[in-house]
């Protein structure tokens, strides 16, 4: 079935007891057992499994084309996948313009447990091949990247790795509307569902979706062992968000296109970037901080992917953890998350904020 149809219906079986069309929010920590060890499916304790979470996981798996596990944040999802797949002594290859939090997790936490890494320009196949060693266990791809919005050809990059390492793709910025890495040969997809999948800036969450059932079991084992699970209400919100994902992504892209059309001829604006899909736009301007503080419709805030527009200066806000490293971002970079408001209102807001500082 088409993606739009799957987005609306994924993971939604009518409730078996009352036939409610939308599954109940099972706000419970545990499940009554009629006899020792007797319980429905794997619902014995809510860290291990919860029906509201199971419905969301089924939907996420359906939309990315694999087996999904959900987490209390995107970082918890990344941590779970890396813990499931890697062990002390393993080497990772990471893009040099990746999300700052992913870099921090690897550089400041996982290296203490014996992982090593190399940062590469992921658009350069030669650099990837040069970075692969016999210890390389995993290649991390982020496309488009946060915040520079660089895009790689996933199929080509996966072919470059050539089966020599596990390939994980952070698909947060593209979403399965625009790119389904598992269909292109990746081994795993990670999401911050906080962003487009949830879509309404009202919850923090993450997901790992994999192809191989054995890897899925390992991820679930980490999910249960570490316990960074999302609450039932958060699962409900993300699941509700998924049902309009395709509509929202089209509207985000329309907003971004209008904003880019304006920015390309705006005074002192340089290096306007937009992947041609999604609502993420970045540009450089000497008064980056002033602009971010002057917009009214674009709220000055971290995060992205909600229906409302946000603006931020990555170097001073979301990407401080990469300061001074090879993954550092320019200080004059502005990142926009274009929401689904009327595009002309977004353009008027930026025109005023940029013009006022000139």
Residues 23, 26: Cα–Cα separation, whole Å: 9
Task: Say whether residue 92 binds ligand PLP (CB under 6 A).
Answer: no
**Look-up: residue for tokens 């200066």?**
313
Residues 270, 263: Cα–Cα separation, whole Å: 8
Give the one residue of 54, 119, 204, 353 binding ligand PLP; rule: CB under 6 A: 204
For residue 69, what is the DSSP state? Answer: E
Nearer to ligand PLP, 59 or 189 (CB): 189
Residues facing 311 on adjacent strands: 300, 336
Nearer to ligand PLP, 196 or 283 (CB): 196
Q: Cβ-count burial of 122 within 10 angstroms (0-12 exposed, 13-18 middle, 19+ buried)? A: buried
Residues 167, 99: Cα–Cα separation, whole Å: 17
Stretch that binds ligand PLP, among 170-178, 263-271, 280-288, 347-355 (CB under 6 A): 170-178
195 is a catalytic site residue: yes
Nearer to ligand PLP, 189 or 263 (CB): 189
Min separation Cβ 99 and ligand PLP, Å: 4
Task: Say whether residue 309 binds ligand PLP (CB under 6 A).
Answer: no
Task: Say whether residue 140 binds ligand PLP (CB under 6 A).
Answer: no
**In terms of Cα–Cα distance, which of 171, 169, 160, 170 is closest to 131?**
160
Task: Say whether residue 192 binds ligand PLP (CB under 6 A).
Answer: yes
* Chain position whose Cβ is nearest to ligand PLP: 74
Give the one residue of 66, 74, 199, 314 binding ligand PLP; rule: CB under 6 A: 74
Min separation Cβ 86 and ligand PLP, Å: 18
List Cα–Cα distances, 117 to 39, 92, 128, 143, 289, in angstroms.
Answer: 43, 4, 12, 19, 33
Nearer to ligand PLP, 101 or 279 (CB): 101
Min separation Cβ 286 and ligand PLP, Å: 25
Contact 181, 134 (CB under 8 A): no
Exactly one of 15, 45, 47, 124 is catalytic; name it.
47
Min separation Cβ 302 and ligand PLP, Å: 7
Residues 305, 278: Cα–Cα separation, whole Å: 9
Give the one residue of 70, 194, 203, 218 binding ligand PLP; rule: CB under 6 A: 194
Min separation Cβ 318 and ligand PLP, Å: 6
Nearer to ligand PLP, 143 or 255 (CB): 143
Exactly one of 90, 97, 170, 234 is catalytic; name it.
170
Q: Could you check whether the bond before residue 147 is cis, i.e. omega within 30 degrees of 0?
A: yes
Site map (CB under 6 A) of ligand PLP, residues 99-118, x = contact? x-x-----------------
Task: Say whether residue 75 binds ligand PLP (CB under 6 A).
Answer: yes
What tokens were used for 102? 């992913």
Give 266-306 as a DSSP string.
STT-EEEE--SSSSEEEEE-TTHHHHHHH-SSSEE-S---S
Nearer to ligand PLP, 75 or 128 (CB): 75
Task: Say whether residue 146 binds ligand PLP (CB under 6 A).
Answer: yes
47 is a catalytic site residue: yes
Sheet of 166-170, strands arranged across: 67-71, 206-210, 188-192, 166-170, 136-142, 91-95, 116-120
Kindly determine how many residues on this chain lie close enough to bind ligand PLP according to the rule CB under 6 A. Answer: 14
Contact 140, 152 (CB under 8 A): no
Contact set with ligand PLP (CB under 6 A): 73-75, 99, 101, 142, 146, 170, 172-173, 192, 194, 204, 206
Which active-site residues does the annotation give?
Answer: 47, 99, 170, 195
């Amino acid at each position: 079935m088409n993606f739009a149809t799957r987005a609306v219906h994924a993971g939604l079986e009518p409730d078996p007891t009352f036939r409610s069309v939308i599954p109940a929010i099972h706000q419970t920590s545990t499940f009554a057992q009629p006899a020792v060890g007797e319980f429905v499916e794997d619902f014995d304790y809510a860290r291990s499994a919860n029906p509201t979470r199971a419905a969301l996981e089924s939907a996420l798996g359906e939309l990315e084309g694999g087996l999904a596990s959900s987490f209390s944040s995107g970082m918890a999802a990344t941590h779970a996948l890396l813990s499931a797949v890697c062990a002390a002594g393993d080497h990772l290859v990471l893009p040099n313009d990746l999300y700052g939090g992913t870099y921090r997790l690897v550089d400041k936490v996982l290296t203490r447990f014996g992982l090593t890494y190399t940062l590469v320009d992921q658009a350069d196949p030669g650099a990837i091949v040069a970075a692969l060693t016999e210890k390389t266990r995993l290649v991390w791809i982020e496309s488009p990247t946060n915040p520079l919005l660089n895009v790689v050809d996933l199929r080509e990059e996966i072919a470059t790795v050539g089966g020599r390492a596990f390939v994980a793709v952070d698909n947060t910025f593209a979403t399965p509307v625009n790119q389904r890495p598992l269909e292109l040969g990746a081994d795993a997809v990670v999401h911050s569902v906080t962003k487009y999948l949830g879509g309404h800036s009202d919850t923090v969450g993450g997901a790992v979706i994999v192809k191989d059932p054995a890897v899925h079991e390992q991820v679930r084992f980490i999910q249960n062992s570490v316990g960074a699970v999302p609450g039932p209400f958060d699962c409900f919100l993300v699941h509700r968000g998924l049902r309009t994902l395709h509509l929202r992504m089209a509207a985000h892209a329309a907003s971004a296109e209008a904003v880019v059309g304006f920015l390309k001829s705006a005074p002192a604006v340089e290096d306007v970037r937009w992947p041609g899909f999604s609502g993420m736009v970045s540009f450089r301007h000497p008064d980056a901080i002033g602009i971010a503080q002057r917009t009214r419709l674009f709220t000055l805030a971290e995060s992205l992917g909600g229906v409302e527009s946000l603006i931020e200066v990555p170097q001073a806000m979301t990407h401080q953890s990469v300061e001074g490293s090879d993954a550092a971002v320019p200080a004059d970079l502005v990142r926009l998350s274009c929401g689904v408001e009327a595009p002309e209102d977004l353009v008027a807001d930026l025109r005023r904020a940029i013009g006022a500082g000139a």
